[in-house]
A and B are shown apart, each in its own frame.
Chain A
Amino acid sequence: MDHDGTDELVAQVREATARRTPLRIVGGDTKWFFGRAVAGAPLSTRGHRGILRHDPAELVLTARAGTPLAEIEARLAGCNQRLPFEPPHFGADATIGGTVASGLAGPARAWAGPLRDFVLGARVLSGDGRVLRFGGEVMKNVAGYDVARLMAGSLGILGVLLDVSLKVLPVPPGERTLSLDVDEATALGRLAEIARGALPLSAGSWIDGRVYLRFEGSDATLDDVQARVGGEVVADSRGFWAGLREQTHPFFTGTSPLWRCIVPPLAPPLSLDGAPLVEWNGLQRWYRCAPGVSAFEAAAAVGGHATLFRHGTDAPEVFAPLAAPLLRLHRALKLEFDPAGILNPGRMYADL
């Protein structure tokens, strides 16, 4: 099954550049809804797959972009390691390339850091068919601009990811989720307060009037934490957080537009209708809004930004608008990496 599909991908991209035909980069097509719709011929990375290196003592894994995320997570689990940013799959076929390109992280984000913090290196196929290697497989590397980290969350607009090297970390001995009954305002304060301390809080959310706190560590540590924090133990801790990560929790069902608002710590409740589902100790808040309602302004009003995450691909823009100088820089970078503008055109913003 493992196969180096670099040559095929290079040939397809070069041909598309020559003919100026737009391409829609596809891994497992599990995150098709994220970003704006792309009109283009599919460029599949599925044939370019395989874990290239993983030595547990190095804390680094390198894999081809089309490698299934599930295969990577299984390999790591076998060595008691994991991807610290707890990426969502959104389907069985999710690939590591799509994971990095979407830049999405799961419940552990506020504790572990964003996906880009774990990108050490990348081999990238630029829009004009050059195969470029940035970063590497070492923890510290300041040779050249950090283009590998720039690829995290770039939605394929600068290049096709070929291989990625990610920092991985050991899995702590145990996890325990505690749940307490509180209203939203109290929950936001409590989450921020616990996140400030030195407790091993690896996820914090608030939903349906309850706050959920996941701690990780040894049994002795978890007993100690439970004595300090109180609350009820959630029986199926893994299942609960998987429901949030994969958006199988009932909050996420239905077809009304799903907005993701990222806000600074201790931001007040947003002026949007309906109760949010709060994650990342209050930094990430999900809202179900009526069609036509925009959350951009409400998130910006508290110093954050909003994304129309699902059920809005026909909207003119799904990501918060960029300031004019920033948008100009985005265009200039796009022109350098993809001069013909054939890679995922419009996936991030209308004219990128």
Chain B
Amino acid sequence: MTPDPALLSDLRAALGPDAVLVSPEACAPFECDALNTQRHRPDVVALPRSPEQVMAVLRACSRHATPVVARGAGTGLSGGALPVAGGVLLVLARLNRVLEVDPARRLARVEPGVTNLEISAAAAPHGLYYAPDPSSQVACTIGGNVAENSGGVHCLKHGLTVHNLLELRVATIDGEWLTLGSAAGEAPGLSLLALLTGSEGMLGVVVEATVRLKPLPERVELLMAAFGDVRSCADAVGRIIASGIVPAGLEMMDAPAIRAAEAFVRCGYPTDAAALLLCELDGLEQDVLHDLQAVESLLRECGATTLRVATDATERLRMWSGRKSAFPAVGRLAPDYFCMDGTIPRRHLADVLERIDEMSRAAGLPVANVFHAGDGNLHPLILFDAGQPGEVERAEHLGAEILELCVAVGGTVTGEHGVGVEKLGPMCTQFGADELEAFHGVKRAFDPDGLLNPGKAVPTLARCADYGAMRVHGGKLPFAHLPRF
């Protein structure tokens, strides 16, 4: 589609001609985010350098009734930054300044294009860090983290993005500035800071974030435990938490994931194990050592076959390396994979893993499991070959079944990757028409004309009617045998 010349002229006047891309070659790199099965080359890419220029882009889009999609580094896994036809792609990567690190007040003020890891790097000289650590933290930006409410391996104890934000400066599609929250962490009125967090760029564009910094822990210990069966490992997760210990990280891998990781990075995982648990403890020296002993004896009671505590930081990093490279490691096993992101109540871990295994066999597609066990956030990786006729559809179908199972046991279709375009269908499983209509109502309050990232995050009722027709066979609800609550 050829962009509206009046819009282009407004954008060029506000940003300068070199910050507005229209040629197919220049726009091509922005055609997808990390969900690369969905692509659409943008007609216009705007690259503002300041909050005022961001506002100018939004005002121009509003004036010309043009949809606008905000994008950070494009590391999102659900297609939230997928360009929309006839729209402007608003790339925030050039707003990349750390504006302030205030060690005395333990906060940092940054522009949206600053990467997650840059915040911790800027805070490190003061013995502080920014806690949420999504696996893409080298590349992903804080603006994107706010849009997705990103988690990471340490969020059971240290919180999600929403728990570590103090204040947001937001530009609305109506051309107004909003300040949400405050450096004190509270503000009068409704909690719009929490509402904006995780709203996938549908309600406003963040131009500045003030985040909380935490002191680096005095002591960190990492413990690895192997199990002969998945159920014992899953039970150990519940036992640790019920004992009153909140680990900084509690990660689990199943046999296919363990073997793939070991073959990929040689991190010392026992390849004969059915399940592996990594438990990280952090805090004051005495507390960590006390908890470490308690966790060790609990894991023995739960039937751990191998138990190892990292002796130093080098070994700790090596033990983590297998977990952190698990996705690419599993990726070597098949030409393609889908990464699912359901979250379930922890008590159902073992049952759900068993069910996923049965579904995987029935579908004839292998599934490897790597996940944040402490949070109950599963990442089943469905392996397939897009080159084989029908395999993409079978993999998508298996993925949808897994997410429906997560909802059926009281969980959610997405724990941390967001809905984007990827999970619009599964959203219809989790929410009824009234909730979806309420979400559209929230959208209307911020963006009455539906110009910000249209078509993402919340499905239309019509789409859900189509999805229902596809998913419900023979009038039977999926997993009718499972309790629903």
* Chain A positions near chain B (C-beta within 8 angstroms): 53, 55-60, 80, 103, 113-114, 116-117, 126, 130-134, 136-147, 149-150, 152-154, 157-158, 169-171, 192, 195-200, 217-218, 220-221, 224, 262-266, 283, 303-305, 307, 319-323, 325-327, 329-330, 332-333, 335-337, 348-349
Closest A residue, CB atoms, query B436 = A144
Residues of the B chain whose Cβ atoms lie less than 8 Å from the Cβ of A169: 246
Beyond A197-B215, A336-B445: 16 further Cβ-contacts under 8 Å?
A59-B241, A60-B345, A138-B410, A140-B412, A140-B415, A142-B149, A143-B427, A145-B199, A218-B287, A303-B184, A322-B188, A325-B178, A326-B179, A326-B189, A330-B190, A333-B442
Shortest Cβ gap from B255 to chain A (Å): 24
Bitwise interface map of B from 240 to 252 toward A, beta carbon under 8 Å scored 1, else 0: 0110111000000
The answer to whether A140 and B372 touch (CB under 8 A), given A117-B159, A146-B162, A196-B103, is: yes
Q: CB distance A192 to B104 under 8 Å?
A: yes
- Residues of B438-485 contacting chain A, CB below 8 A: 438-439, 441-446, 457-458, 485
13 A-B residue pairings within 8 Å (CB atoms) = A126-B438, A139-B376, A140-B160, A140-B377, A143-B414, A145-B203, A196-B104, A199-B284, A217-B287, A325-B176, A329-B445, A329-B446, A335-B445
Residues of the B chain whose Cβ atoms lie less than 8 Å from the Cβ of A304: 182, 184
Say yes or no: is B151 at the interface (Cβ < 8 Å to chain A).
Answer: yes
Q: CB distance B290 to A320 under 8 Å?
A: no
Residues of the A chain whose Cβ atoms lie less than 8 Å from the Cβ of B189: 319, 322, 326-327, 330, 348-349
Q: CB distance A333 to B347 under 8 Å?
A: no
The answer to whether A113 and B159 touch (CB under 8 A), given A138-B411, A337-B438, is: yes
Say yes or no: is B307 at the interface (Cβ < 8 Å to chain A).
Answer: no
A323 to B177, CA, bound (A): 10
A38 to B149, CA, bound (A): 35
**Closest 8 A-B residue pairs measured CB to CB?**
A336-B441, A332-B445, A170-B244, A140-B415, A149-B194, A264-B183, A57-B238, A325-B176
Q: CB distance A142 to B198 under 8 Å?
A: yes
Q: CB distance A262 to B186 under 8 Å?
A: yes
Say yes or no: is B352 at the interface (Cβ < 8 Å to chain A).
Answer: no
A141 to B431, CA, bound (A): 13
Closest A residue, CB atoms, query B150 = A142
A202 to B452, CA, bound (A): 41
A123 to B350, CA, bound (A): 28
Residues of the A chain whose Cβ atoms lie less than 8 Å from the Cβ of B195: 145-147, 149-150
Shortest Cβ gap from B276 to chain A (Å): 20
Q: CB distance A58 to B415 under 8 Å?
A: no
Q: CB distance A114 to B186 under 8 Å?
A: yes
Closest A residue, CB atoms, query B415 = A140
A132 to B433, CA, bound (A): 10
Shortest Cβ gap from A226 to chain B (Å): 13
Residues of the A chain whose Cβ atoms lie less than 8 Å from the Cβ of B187: 305
The answer to whether A144 and B415 touch (CB under 8 A), given A221-B286, A325-B176, is: no
Bitwise interface map of B from 162 to 201 toward A, beta carbon under 8 Å scored 1, else 0: 1100000000101011110011111111111011011100
The answer to whether A139 and B155 touch (CB under 8 A), given A114-B185, A145-B199, A147-B442, is: yes
A200 to B217, CA, bound (A): 11
Q: CB distance A198 to B415 under 8 Å?
A: no
Closest A residue, CB atoms, query B245 = A170
Say yes or no: is B221 at the interface (Cβ < 8 Å to chain A).
Answer: no
Residues of the A chain whose Cβ atoms lie less than 8 Å from the Cβ of B438: 126, 130, 132, 134, 147, 336-337
Q: CB distance A57 to B343 under 8 Å?
A: no
The answer to whether A265 and B105 touch (CB under 8 A), given A143-B413, A149-B191, A170-B246, is: yes
* Chain B positions near chain A (C-beta within 8 angstroms): 103-107, 148-149, 151, 155-156, 159-160, 162-163, 172, 174, 176-179, 182-192, 194-195, 197-199, 202-203, 215-218, 238-239, 241-242, 244-246, 283-284, 286-287, 290, 343-347, 372, 374-377, 410-419, 423, 427, 430-432, 434-435, 438-439, 441-446, 457-458, 485
Residues of the A chain whose Cβ atoms lie less than 8 Å from the Cβ of B283: 198, 200
A7 to B96, CA, bound (A): 52
Q: CB distance B441 to A337 under 8 Å?
A: yes
The answer to whether A138 and B190 touch (CB under 8 A), given A218-B286, A329-B446, is: no
Shortest Cβ gap from A303 to chain B (Å): 6
Q: CB distance A329 to B178 under 8 Å?
A: yes
Residues of the B chain whose Cβ atoms lie less than 8 Å from the Cβ of A335: 445
Q: CB distance A80 to B414 under 8 Å?
A: no
Q: CB distance B430 to A140 under 8 Å?
A: no
Q: CB distance A320 to B446 under 8 Å?
A: no
Residues of the B chain whose Cβ atoms lie less than 8 Å from the Cβ of A60: 345
Partner of B417, one of A116, A142, A264, A266: A142
Residues of the A chain whose Cβ atoms lie less than 8 Å from the Cβ of B410: 136-138
Shortest Cβ gap from A56 to chain B (Å): 5
Q: CB distance B444 to A332 under 8 Å?
A: yes
A320 to B179, CA, bound (A): 14
Residues of the A chain whose Cβ atoms lie less than 8 Å from the Cβ of B372: 140
Q: CB distance B184 to A153 under 8 Å?
A: no
Shortest Cβ gap from B222 to chain A (Å): 18
Q: CB distance B415 to A141 under 8 Å?
A: yes
Q: CB distance A265 to B104 under 8 Å?
A: yes
Q: CB distance B194 to A150 under 8 Å?
A: yes
Q: CB distance A116 to B194 under 8 Å?
A: yes
Shortest Cβ gap from B180 to chain A (Å): 8
Residues of the B chain whose Cβ atoms lie less than 8 Å from the Cβ of A192: 104-105
The answer to whether A264 and B184 touch (CB under 8 A), given A136-B410, A139-B155, is: yes
A329 to B218, CA, bound (A): 44
Residues of the B chain whose Cβ atoms lie less than 8 Å from the Cβ of A329: 178, 192, 445-446
Q: CB distance B184 to A263 under 8 Å?
A: yes
Q: CB distance B192 to A138 under 8 Å?
A: no
A349 to B189, CA, bound (A): 8
Residues of the B chain whose Cβ atoms lie less than 8 Å from the Cβ of A58: 241, 345-347
Residues of the A chain whose Cβ atoms lie less than 8 Å from the Cβ of B290: 218, 220
Residues of the B chain whose Cβ atoms lie less than 8 Å from the Cβ of A126: 438
Residues of the B chain whose Cβ atoms lie less than 8 Å from the Cβ of A170: 244-246
A146 to B441, CA, bound (A): 13
A303 to B183, CA, bound (A): 8
Q: CB distance A140 to B172 under 8 Å?
A: no
Shortest Cβ gap from B169 to chain A (Å): 12
Closest A residue, CB atoms, query B203 = A145
Residues of the A chain whose Cβ atoms lie less than 8 Å from the Cβ of B346: 57-58
Residues of the A chain whose Cβ atoms lie less than 8 Å from the Cβ of B199: 145-146
Shortest Cβ gap from B453 to chain A (Å): 13
A153 to B419, CA, bound (A): 27
Residues of the A chain whose Cβ atoms lie less than 8 Å from the Cβ of B159: 113, 117
Partner of A146, one of B198, B345, B435: B198
Shortest Cβ gap from B434 to chain A (Å): 5
Partner of B284, one of A136, A149, A200: A200
A56 to B188, CA, bound (A): 34
Residues of the B chain whose Cβ atoms lie less than 8 Å from the Cβ of A157: 190
The answer to whether A132 and B434 touch (CB under 8 A), given A139-B155, A322-B189, is: yes
Closest A residue, CB atoms, query B194 = A149
Closest A residue, CB atoms, query B197 = A146
Partner of A266, one of B105, B162, B374, B457: B105
Interface centre among B241, B286, B485 (most CB of A within 10 A): B286
Residues of the B chain whose Cβ atoms lie less than 8 Å from the Cβ of A133: 431-432, 435
A197 to B128, CA, bound (A): 9
Residues of the A chain whose Cβ atoms lie less than 8 Å from the Cβ of B241: 57-59
Residues of the B chain whose Cβ atoms lie less than 8 Å from the Cβ of A152: 191, 194
The answer to whether A140 and B151 touch (CB under 8 A), given A55-B347, A283-B185, is: yes
Closest A residue, CB atoms, query B282 = A198
